[in-house]
Amino acid sequence: MSGIIFTDSTFEKEVLISEIPVLVDFWAEWCQPCKMVNPLIEELSEEYSGKLKVGKVNVDENSETPGNYSVMSIPTLIIFKKGEPVKTLIGVQSKDVYKRAIEEAISG
């Protein structure tokens, strides 16, 4: 993954006070749907380079952050803008669905 690894201790600095919108992928190593989403997230990270920060939170290694945002199933993708969650996508979605959500967050 070319994105950033977010942890409970780096989440505020990397996500909440980011100057640009941030796409956070909540995942786990054992999660097959997460592995299905990963190539799409890679592509989006490259496509939106400079406009969107993309990173991952491993829910098995970081329990505080997923709990703070009521992440109950994975994969869950949350787009943050100015420190606030603006869009949540749960489960495997198409690339078009992810792109629409990102475009809304960037332009909105």
- Active-site residue flag, 68: no
- Where are the domains positioned within the chain? 4-107
In this prediction, residue 1 carries a pLDDT of 44
Q: Enumerate the H helices of the chain as residue ranges.
A: 11, 32-47, 64-68, 95-107
- Active-site residue flag, 76: no
- Give the CATH number of domain 4-107; options: 3.40.30.10, 3.40.50.620, 3.90.1150.10, 3.40.50.300: 3.40.30.10
For the chain, 108 residues long, give each residue's pLDDT as a single digit of tens. Answer: 456 999 999 999 999 999 999 999 999 999 999 999 999 999 999 999 999 999 999 999 999 999 999 999 999 999 999 999 999 999 999 999 999 999 998 887
Exactly one of 34, 52, 54, 74 is catalytic; which is it? Answer: 34
In this prediction, residue 107 carries a pLDDT of 87
Exactly one of 31, 52, 101, 105 is catalytic; which is it? Answer: 31
Helix, strand or coil for residue 101? helix
